Amino acid sequence: MAKTILIALGGNAIKQADEKGSSEEQFRNCWKTTNYISRIIENLEPEDRLVITHGNGPQVGNLMVQQKVAEDIVPAHPMDVVGAMTQGQIGYMLQQTLMNHLKKMGIKKSVCTILNQVLVDKNDPEFIGENASKPVGNFLTEEEAQELKKKYPEYIIKKVKPNGERCWRRTVPSPDPISNIEGAVINKLVEAGVIVIASGGGGIPVLEDEEGELVGIEAVIDKDLAGERLAEIIGADLFFILTDVEKAKLNYGKPEEKELGKVSYQQMKQYFKEGHFLVGSMGPKVKACLRFLENGGKKAIISSLDKVLEAYRGETGTIIEKEN
């Protein structure tokens, strides 16, 4: 039976935390990432379909820093335009490296990146006060975070990891995605058998104004939640979230920390309610998986990039399914 898979790539698939973010580094990471994805494609049947989405937090953060430094020389662009710029950048890198892998493997598949807008609500709580929750840019030490805040008082900077030396990042509004503007086009490409890279960085955030016209807004949509919306449009059976850990964990960073393997939808929903998953990291991933299953999806998997094939086979990862 034909199946449709949506893979959501984490930031580590494109830029490692200890890297500067040069084009050479990011191309190298994309080459490794698409090598793993090509192994999944190799195991698919001809009638199966695949869509890829990705994060862009580090790229958006770095580009905004570049703009800030050069603002007296060239005009800076708003966050929605920066999102579009990085969406094109990352899509290009993933598209090219995946095409090269498939060519070497003798697999004839078209790969296409879509510049993609996603609708959000101007009244979303993320736009209020200090609610902004989406980390962008590099991980910082507490000292670096304090220095950044002094230099740019308007920034919202939060601790996004419970422990470690670099656990602070700048955060920006991350409104809940409502719908995918280019969804119908994406669906047609998927139906035609094209491997589509879409909704990059959660999509370019846009609002509808009083006249019903689309306008960009300063925000970064969570790519996993936007990926779930995209999964609904394409009728995905499997929602795959790839991050930097092999499995989601209960009591993360505490002595009683525990990895989660196969878990039911109801049990995972209870863990989520109990607050086991941090807002700036695993929380949105689990929320997206639960929403996917609520909206008719069959299976959601959270795992690491290097274990993608094993997780696809059901041998590892946090695998969430509804009980029959």
CATH number for 86: 3.40.1160.10
Question: Are 222 and 174 in contact, with CB atoms under 8 Å apart?
Answer: yes
Q: Give residue 53's pLDDT.
A: 97
Q: Residue type for 27, please? A: F
Active-site residue identified among 10, 11, 61, 227: 11
Residue 260, domain member (yes or no): no
Q: Quickly tell me which residue has 């059976």 as its tokens.
A: 237
| Statement: residue 136 has pLDDT above 80 | no
Q: Which of 26-40, 129-143, 264-278 has the lowest mean pLDDT?
A: 129-143
Active-site residue identified among 134, 247, 269, 287: 134
User: CA 312 to CA 101: how far, in whole Å?
Assistant: 19
Number of domains in the chain: 1
Q: Give residue 194's pLDDT.
A: 98
Note the residue count of the chain.
Answer: 324
Residue 296, domain member (yes or no): no
Q: Give residue 323's pLDDT.
A: 77
User: CA 141 to CA 122: how far, in whole Å?
Assistant: 33
135 closest CA partner among 154, 161, 117, 115: 161
Q: Give residue 184's pLDDT.
A: 96
Bridging pattern class, strands 299-304 and 318-321: antiparallel
CA Rg, the chain, in Å?
Answer: 19
Q: Residue type for 304, please? A: S
Q: Give residue 162's pLDDT.
A: 79
Q: Does the annotation count 200 as an active-site position?
A: no
Q: Does the annotation count 227 as an active-site position?
A: no
Q: Which two tokens stand for residue 7?
A: 């893979």
User: CA 254 to CA 184: how far, in whole Å?
Assistant: 45
Higher pLDDT, 17 or 306: 306
Per-residue pLDDT, averaged over 107-115, amounts to: 97
- Please count the CA atoms within 13 angstroms of the CA of 30 that sit on its side-chain side: 25
Q: Which two tokens stand for residue 39?
A: 């192994």
Residue 272, domain member (yes or no): no
Active-site residue identified among 29, 137, 183, 223: 223
Active-site residue identified among 15, 247, 269, 285: 285
pLDDT, one tens digit per residue, over 214-240 is: 999 988 898 999 999 999 999 999 999
Q: Give residue 165's pLDDT.
A: 87
Residue 31, domain member (yes or no): yes
Q: Does the annotation count 317 as an active-site position?
A: no
Residue 288, domain member (yes or no): no
276 closest CA partner among 248, 301, 303: 248
Bridging pattern class, strands 111-113 and 195-197: parallel
Q: Does the annotation count 223 as an active-site position?
A: yes
Residue 132, domain member (yes or no): yes
Residue 187, domain member (yes or no): yes
Q: Which of 110-124, 184-198, 246-260 has the lowest mean pLDDT?
A: 246-260
Q: What is the overall mean pLDDT for the chain?
A: 92
User: CA 48 to CA 172: how far, in whole Å?
Assistant: 37
Active-site residue identified among 10, 12, 55, 83: 12
User: CA 4 to CA 240: how far, in whole Å?
Assistant: 11
| Statement: residue 280 has pLDDT above 70 | no
Q: Does the annotation count 11 as an active-site position?
A: yes
Q: What residues make up the domain containing 224?
A: 4-236
